[in-house]
A = this chain, B = another copy of it.
Amino acid sequence: MTDIISSSEIVAQMANGQELSVPIYRITGNGQGPSVYIQANMHGAEVQGNAVIYQLLESLKQLDCYGDITVVPLANPIGCNQKSGEFTLGRFDPITGANWNRGYHFNSDLPNQFAAQYPDLSMPEIVVKFRQCIIKDLEQKQLNSPYGLTTAQHLCATLQRMAFEADIVLDLHTGPISSRHLYCPEYAKESASLFNIEHTLFIPNGFDGALDEAMFCPWWQLQLAYSQQGREIEVAVAAFTLELGSQEWLCLEEAKKDCASILSYFSARGVIAQDLHTPAVMTRYACQLSDYRALYAPQSGMVEYLAPLGQPLDAGQPLVRMLRMDRYGQDDAVNIVPAPERCIPVLHFASASVNHGTELYKVMTNYFTL
């Protein structure tokens, strides 16, 4: 049995003075395994990660944990509470339009500076010292700016400060209407088969503001910096974004599957005992991020999503049917939008009506099996 310690941390302050906080649950491991940070619900409508965290805590409290584990459900209280009609408008800051998951910090100068300064440190020393280095850099940015931070940067910095302590970082998201999929950095390819997730997108070593990138980019680029000095080291931190299905949907029973998926990864990485959970047998598909394509509506209309999610689709097969009742009686009142090439549809738009140019589907192309 494992104790779970709860606390909370203030991450925002609203116009009326009210402070908003995130709940934090911590498990102290026995020190023999890697440490973990998990958060969920950074986008307000993507709530299923909270259910997965619930099931995960229910499981972990029955187990021996080797590594420290910190989990933060409801990670974005502004996004969670931002309603617009019968929908949670929690994808971007309603004032600025800035995607909440693009406010993390990465100082691309640090890896090279560090490798130059400490060419000969042992790997354990590197991990400790470089972690101190990136945490200090974050704190300076956060605390010492006379011009302050944006609301998103402040929220992200507070979460990132916790995540920086961990060796493994999982950011739990969902798509709009979506099948499960995993964003996995290319250097950690083999990890994709440890989760029970059928679709994986391999992402390169570039920073676009998201949490997973903010976590692995410093360490991946540190590896490259040492490599350029002729020294090969491991990438010490692994970070993944797990897309757990559809937004605006909660199911505690379904969450058990994703809990098992994460425990399988934990077993393999030694966060918990090695033989406890094993990956499910399934065909796992993957593609490069650059082959993960959005299809934008070639015209506006009312939409019927035809292509099932998660299954290969041939070029020319229908993705959506579009109804244009302003055109009834003409040839284009009902139109099919076909798949431009062989692909696996992974997610589609949440609404049944779209403007010209609205993202209809995201599909994996040039995919392969793992």
Contacts and interface: CB of A to CB of B under 8 A. Distances in A.
Q: Which of A12, A16, A45: most chain B CB closer than 10 A?
A: A16
B295 A147 contact: yes
Interface stretch (A119-127, A199-207, A299-307): A299-307
Nearest to A315: B146
Contact of A302 (B47, B87, B97, B321): B47
Interface in A327-362: 327-329, 333-334, 340-341, 349-359
Contacts of A252: 304, 321, 323, 334
A302 B358 CA distance: 28
Interface stretch (A19-27, A28-36, A208-216): A19-27
Q: Give the contact-size bracket for chain A.
A: 35 or more
B95 A98 contact: no
Interface string A292-312: 011111111111100000000
| Copies in the assembly, this chain | 4
Contacts of A244: none
A84 B81 contact: no
A13 B249 CA distance: 20
A190 to B, nearest CB: 31
Given A81-B14, A95-B355, A357-B153, A51 B302 contact: yes
Contacts of A249: 352
A16 B95 contact: no
Nearest to A154: B357
Interface string A43-81: 011011011011001000000000000000110011011
Contacts of A341: 146
A8 B333 CA distance: 15
A9 to B, nearest CB: 12
Contact of A359 (B83, B150, B300, B323): B150
9 contacts: A4-B329, A15-B302, A16-B77, A18-B18, A83-B351, A86-B350, A88-B353, A146-B341, A148-B357
